[in-house]
Amino acid sequence: MSMQNAPLCTVFVRHQRIAAGSYAEVADALSSLDLPAGSFLAFDDATGTQVDYPWPAGYTPAPPAPTDADEAPPATPSVGRPKLGVVAREVTLLPRHWEWLGQQQGGASAALRRLVDEARNVHVSRDQMRQAKEASYRFMSAIGGDLPGFEDASRALFAQDASDFSNKIAHWPADVRTYLAWLSRNAFAA
């Protein structure tokens, strides 16, 4: 994995950022500091999720947890085309859906793949906005839940009101405000 795609994290002591970078770089920085366990919070930069430290040598954060709509893949796929990354899962549809899918070029599986790819392309900006809002809120809740105006800032974030959001966090500590502005950079409509 190139460093450009390496997962990144940021560490705070109270409201001050003390380390940022790849997980390995942050682990090196934290090992050189004499901080008692539990005195700092580490956050994954892609998801805003709080991560536990110390992480084992060579630790790579897991991909985001599946949502309720997703099912975890079976431990040992028994069907599909594993060499191509194809994993068989169950899909429940009404008879009229199966009938329509069966009439499509390439059959039901090909039609479903096309539909999913089209939806992913059409909704890419909406999905980025949602993910940025969720990451921002995770971070805000963990580090700033007790900061004045937290509830109002949360409302502004989910209402997609960028100027009100900026105003509500303007009096927050500089490092928290800066990191939150970075996390929420895609949370608001252009």
- Each residue's pLDDT tens digit in the chain (190 positions)? 445 567 899 999 999 999 999 998 998 899 888 888 788 999 999 999 999 887 756 666 665 555 554 555 555 545 556 677 777 788 888 999 888 988 989 888 888 889 888 888 888 889 999 999 999 999 999 998 999 999 999 999 999 999 999 999 999 999 999 999 999 999 997 6
CB 107 within 8 A of CB 101: yes
Residue 177 forms part of a structural domain: yes
How far is it, in rounded angstroms, from Cα 33 to Cα 28? 9
User: In 3D, which of 167, 155, 59 has the Cα closest to residue 42?
Assistant: 59
Instruction: Give the DSSP per-residue string, 70-89.
Output: S-PPPSS--SS-GGGT----
Domain boundary among 90, 112, 139: 90
How far is it, in rounded angstroms, from Cα 8 to Cα 182? 13
Residue 150 forms part of a structural domain: yes
Co-location of 58 and 16 in the same domain: yes
Q: Which amino acid is at 74?
A: P
Co-location of 22 and 85 in the same domain: yes
What's the predicted TM-score (pTM) here? 0.72
Co-location of 18 and 78 in the same domain: yes
Residue 188 forms part of a structural domain: no
Instruction: Please tell me what DSSP assigns to residue 125.
Output: H
Co-location of 86 and 153 in the same domain: no
Co-location of 25 and 47 in the same domain: yes
Residue 190 forms part of a structural domain: no
Co-location of 79 and 6 in the same domain: yes
Co-location of 85 and 6 in the same domain: yes
Query: In this structure, is the dihedral angle defined by the CA atoms of residues 45, 19, 38 and 142, taken in order, positive or negative?
Result: negative
Co-location of 96 and 142 in the same domain: no
How far are the Cα atoms of 21, 52, 108, 158 from residue 11, in angstroms, in the given order? 9, 11, 47, 25
Q: How far apart are the first and last CA of the chain?
A: 32
Q: Which residue has the tokens 């995770």?
A: 138
Co-location of 79 and 137 in the same domain: no
Co-location of 108 and 67 in the same domain: no
Domain that holds residue 169: 125-183
Residue 69 forms part of a structural domain: yes
Co-location of 86 and 133 in the same domain: no
Number of separate domains in the chain: 3
pLDDT of residue 44: 94
Q: In what order do the strands lie in the sheet with 41-44?
A: 16-22, 8-13, 41-44, 50-51
